[in-house]
């Protein structure tokens, strides 16, 4: 990973498309992030126009890293979470490059971008081993890093645990929908973490998503053996990871 210069990252989410220039020496944003509401329906062409608008607002002329809530394989979106289903099998790399005048772009999964950022600059920056990021939200996103190298497109939120997908058991949306206490929800999260740690033996879990802001209420209640730490970068992690990816030329 580069530790010099600057790069531009964009994080596409279900409610907003956010972007900023990133200082790669520190992982800090160079300026306030720019946010534009995600268009609905969030079709490929509509999102591409929004990304172009954001880059124009930023007056940025260089390469751009972009996250999508999608499994990305050779620039092709293979899944669509919180975006229109017409994204499936879309050549996202070509779409965004054309929308930005043919410039260089890198497109990667949003959880992968967050994992890269937390590994390099955030909660796991001092861990020399296997790092697993889990983002708890509508579903459960995941990213796996080993000594700074991303293992792209993990989908551990869909792993089966006692006949139920992990994210159907322990996403933060489940807590809200079922009105679970932190203790009740932490029991479900523990089941997910124990299953994953028995398979992969990570050195640390990094817990992301909005509920990580309340980490003191539920992380101490977890009963798994692997340390769990709250994400540090939170709503800038996707932007930072996207900037890292385009700087390093990572293209899952």
Q: Is 134 found in the same domain as 91?
A: no
Looking at the whole model, is its pTM more than 0.85?
yes
Q: Is 128 found in the same domain as 82?
A: no
CB 63 within 8 A of CB 7: yes
Residues 106-120 pLDDT 10s: 999 999 999 999 999
Q: Tokens representing 172? A: 């933060």
* Residue 162 per-residue DSSP state: T
Asked whether residue 1 is domain-assigned, the answer is: no
Residues in CB range of 73: below 8 A, 6 or more apart: 153, 252
Q: Tokens representing 231? A: 């994400």
Residues 185-234 pLDDT 10s: 999 999 999 999 999 999 999 999 999 999 999 999 999 999 999 999 98
Contacts 24+ apart (CB under 8 A), 144-150: 144/115, 144/200, 144/202, 145/115, 145/116, 145/119, 148/1, 148/119, 148/120, 150/112, 150/115, 150/116, 150/250, 150/252
Structural domain count of the chain: 2
Q: How far is CA 239 from the centre of its chain?
A: 9
CB 74 within 8 A of CB 65: no
Q: Is 215 found in the same domain as 243?
A: no
* Residue 113 per-residue DSSP state: H
Asked whether residue 116 is domain-assigned, the answer is: no
Mean pLDDT per 10-residue section of the chain, whose length is 252 residues: 76 94 96 96 97 97 96 96 92 98 96 97 95 95 96 96 96 97 98 98 96 96 98 94 93 68
Domain, as residue range, for 132: 123-231
CB 104 within 8 A of CB 246: yes
For 139, the 3-state DSSP assignment is: coil
């Amino acid at each position: 990973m580069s530790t010099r210069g600057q790069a531009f990252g964009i994080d596409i989410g279900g409610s907003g498309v956010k972007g900023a220039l990133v200082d790669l020496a520190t992982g800090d944003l160079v300026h306030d992030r720019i946010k534009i509401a995600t268009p609905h329906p969030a079709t490929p062409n509509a999102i591409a126009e929004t990304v172009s608008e954001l880059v124009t607002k930023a007056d940025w002329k260089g390469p751009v890293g972009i996250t999508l809530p999608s499994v990305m394989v050779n620039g092709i979106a293979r899944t669509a979470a919180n975006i229109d289903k017409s994204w499936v099998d879309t050549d996202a790399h070509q779409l965004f490059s054309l929308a930005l005048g043919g410039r260089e772009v890198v497109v990667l999964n949003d959880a992968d971008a967050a994992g890269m950022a937390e590994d390099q600059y955030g909660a796991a920056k001092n861990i020399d081993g296997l790092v697993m990021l889990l983002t708890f939200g509508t579903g459960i996103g995941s990213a796996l890093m080993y000594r700074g190298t991303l293992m792209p497109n993990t989908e551990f939120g869909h792993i089966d645990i006692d006949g139920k997908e992990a994210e159907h058991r322990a996403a933060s949306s489940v807590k809200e929908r079922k009105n679970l206490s932190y203790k009740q929800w932490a029991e479900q999260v523990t089941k997910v973490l124990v299953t994953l740690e028995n398979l992969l033996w990570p050195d640390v879990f990094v817990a992301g998503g909005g509920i990580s802001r309340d980490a003191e209420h539920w992380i101490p209640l977890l009963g798994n053996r692997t340390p769990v730490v709250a994400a540090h970068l939170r709503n800038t992690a996707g932007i930072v990871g996207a900037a890292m990816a385009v700087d390093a030329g990572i293209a899952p």
